[in-house]
Amino acid sequence: MLTFFTTAKPFVGHSGVIQRNALRSWKLLRPDVEVILFGNEEGVAETCAELGLRHEPHVERHESGMKYLNYMFERAQKIATHPFLCYSNCDIVLLDDFWRAFETVSNEHPSFLMISQRWDTDIVNPLPFEDPLWQPSIRNFSRVSGTQQIPHFVDYFVFSKGLYDQVPPLLIGRSFWDWWLVWKALSRRAAVVDCTPFVTAIHQNHGHGYHPKGKEGTNEDELAKRNVALAGNGKHLRYILDSNYQMDAQGKIHRVFFRRQYFEWKIAYKIQTLINITYPLRRLLGLRRAKLEAAPDHKTRP
């Protein structure tokens, strides 16, 4: 019923651990789940053989080595054996609540995109998949010890085949391709369903040593700017709060409106409140600074 596709870093060290955790969690959702792994990085072929994944060694790349999103989306929709697909970053562990949400969304909407916020969690070891209680254990650990990321980060995209018929050559590994995918679904008048209250999507924390400026570099460098330019110079960018539907904690889907506007208003309101509250102190400090600056400097006197 569902085909996952993704691409990975080399399967070495901590990256190898968390990527295997993610891939195994997807395979365990249902016996017929298909997983396609693009790329020929170190350890990819061996991992595909070990976990029973479909290996697509070839993936088209930019001269920088970054992989093209459009190639993977076009190829995956062509070769997938199931009518629904999920592109997920290869560090996201998904649990049975994800599957229940997927069944509900796919039953209610013929054309859809399903997304949610993630829980950033420190995981350094292989997950105990042999333990029948591994799912409630890791869910509780993530909710208690992890942090729910803000709605600007989108890490998985479940969609009906054919929704992404035309994808620009955006680059995975730099920012803003995820926001374009949300915009595209909305532009196709699909139901974009935010399942955050229901789904615990676990992001296994990792470093950003692949970029000399860390995470900020992936937002700001020339390749990130290239992604923005391809996204209508920023006009075709949306994120989770632009969803037109939301699933509540009980698994019911509701139509929603103006969530992004309300969120941004709340941020602006909090900033303005802080400015108002601190005004007396800032005014006092400003007066004192003015007096200090007006005082003659004895070192410059003749």
The pLDDT value recorded for residue 217 is: 63
Residues 266 and 217 reside in one and the same domain: no
Residues 126 and 235 reside in one and the same domain: yes
Residues 140 and 272 reside in one and the same domain: no
Residues 268 and 207 reside in one and the same domain: no
Q: Is residue 119 part of a domain?
A: yes
Residues 289 and 151 reside in one and the same domain: no
Residues 251 and 276 reside in one and the same domain: no
Domain count, the chain: 2
Strand locations in the chain (E)? 2-7, 34-38, 54-56, 84-88, 92-93, 112-115, 118-121, 147-148, 156-160, 191-194, 201-204, 245-247, 253-255
The pLDDT value recorded for residue 300 is: 36
Residues 169 and 46 reside in one and the same domain: yes
Helix 177-187 vs helix 222-230: crossing angle, to nearest 10: 10
CB atoms within 10 A of CB 287: 10
- pLDDT tens, residue order, the chain (302 aa): 999 999 999 999 999 999 999 999 999 999 999 999 999 999 999 999 999 999 999 999 999 999 999 999 999 999 999 999 999 999 999 999 999 999 999 999 999 999 999 999 999 999 999 999 999 999 999 999 999 999 999 999 999 999 999 999 999 999 999 999 999 999 999 999 999 999 999 999 997 655 556 556 667 799 999 999 999 999 999 999 999 999 999 999 999 998 888 777 666 666 667 667 666 666 666 656 555 555 444 443 33
pTM of the model: 0.86
Q: What whole-number distance in Å separates Cα of residue 85 and Cα of residue 99?
A: 12
Q: Is residue 22 part of a domain?
A: yes
Asked if 90 contacts 23 with a C-beta cutoff of 8 angstroms, the reply is: yes
Q: What whole-number distance in Å separates Cα of residue 295 and Cα of residue 271?
A: 34
Asked if 32 contacts 1 with a C-beta cutoff of 8 angstroms, the reply is: yes
DSSP state of 171: B
The pLDDT value recorded for residue 288 is: 60
Residues 143 and 266 reside in one and the same domain: no
Q: Is residue 244 part of a domain?
A: yes
Residues 169 and 286 reside in one and the same domain: no
Residues 280 and 197 reside in one and the same domain: no
Residues 267 and 172 reside in one and the same domain: no
Pairing of strands 34-38, 147-148: unpaired
Q: Is residue 302 part of a domain?
A: no
Asked if 252 contacts 208 with a C-beta cutoff of 8 angstroms, the reply is: no
Q: Is residue 243 part of a domain?
A: yes
Q: What whole-number distance in Å separates Cα of residue 191 and Cα of residue 165?
A: 16
User: CATH number of the domain that 207 lies in?
Assistant: 3.90.550
> Furthest-apart CA pair in the chain: how many Å?
89
Residues 142 and 210 reside in one and the same domain: yes
Range of the domain at 272: 262-294
